[in-house]
Amino acid sequence: MSRLQPRSFSSSVPSRANELLSEFHHHLGSGTLWPELARQLFDQMLRQPVPVSVRALNGLFAALARAPPSTACTNAPALVIDLFNRMAQAGRRQVTAPTIYTYSILIECCHRACRPDLGLAFFGRLLQTGITTDVITYSSLLKCLCDMKRTEEALGVLLHRMPNDLPNVISYSVILKSFCDSGRSHLALDLLRMMAEKGSDHSPSVVSYSVVIDGFFKEGEISKACDLFHEMMQQGVVPDVVMYTSIINALCKARAMDKAEVVLRSMVHNGVQLA
DNA sequence: TTAGGGTTAG
């Protein structure tokens, strides 16, 4: 027998924890992952002497975070929160240690499961661990604050609490959307102006403009929306298919068919970037 | 491996 054989044999045999992980994914994919089954498989996974890699664990959580509601599992993001708590309660037993990715997925799940309060609590716990935060985790935190109608506070976090240079155009768009969703598109416009002044990484993107333009339309501020659209193009930001769809739809609803036709023709004439 | 915008039919 080759001396290499035992080694290659052992590395080719999946650990019991990995087998359970595969089973988990299988049930998720075939729509048979009832929460009780998920908890059983996960608890069994935690009891294995060889834990799964943190990357595999994050992959599992990320898949659950994205899972649409099904008969078996109506709220997969809530299940992620549950499973994370079980892992945390496993105490000193050797289990997979969470990383910034784990926390990022977890806090996003709090937002999706309509438990923004838990998102804030988990973020506090993340800070205590000493793990370095990143801009993506902050985006989910900002969403949780906005869910709780604390948009101004979220803006304060973005402007004053986030480490220097961490905020980017996506962080801002979370706040822009929240102002618009609460009927305060004028505040979103102020913020958009601030972004433009800051420049570089913070310069408004087609998404930033799209959020505020759509906000104005939804508030019935047709001319403000159109003005901003023209201003955007003067700035050299190119509209994409999402923005055209939003504008044409809004103009039609506002019975401004002539304007809608102008926008449609310019879209056809100039070509359109797919989002 | 973790994040932002729109619409659609029947």
Enumerate domains of chain A plus CATH numbers.
168-275 (1.25.40.10)
Number of residues assigned to chain A: 275
- Mapped onto helix, strand or coil, the DSSP state of residue A64 is helix
| Residue closest to sugar C1' of B8 by CA | A245
In whole angstroms, B9 C1' to A60 CA is: 34
In whole angstroms, B8 C1' to A184 CA is: 27
Whether CB of A114 is under 7 Å from strand B: the answer is no
Residue with the two structure tokens 């102006």: A193
Residue with the two structure tokens 């769809």: A245
- Mapped onto helix, strand or coil, the DSSP state of residue A273 is strand
**pLDDT tens digits in sequence order for chain A, 275 residues long:** 444 444 444 556 789 999 999 999 999 999 999 999 999 999 999 999 999 999 999 999 999 999 999 999 999 999 999 999 999 988 666 689 999 999 999 999 999 999 999 999 999 999 999 999 999 999 999 999 999 999 999 999 999 999 988 999 999 999 999 999 999 999 999 999 999 998 888 999 999 999 999 999 999 999 999 999 999 999 999 999 999 999 999 999 999 999 999 999 999 998 888 87
- The nucleotides of chain B lying under 7 Å from a protein CB are 1-8
Q: Distance between CA A223 and CA A204 in Å, rounded? A: 20
Smallest Cα–Cα separation from A71: which of A112, A100, A41, A30?
A30
Q: What is the 3-state secondary structure (H, E, C) of A177-191?
A: HHHHHCCCHHHHHHH
Name the pTM for this structure: 0.93
Whether CB of A229 is under 7 Å from strand B: the answer is no
Nucleotide nearest to A204 in CA–C1' terms: B4
Cα A241 to the center of its chain, rounded Å: 21
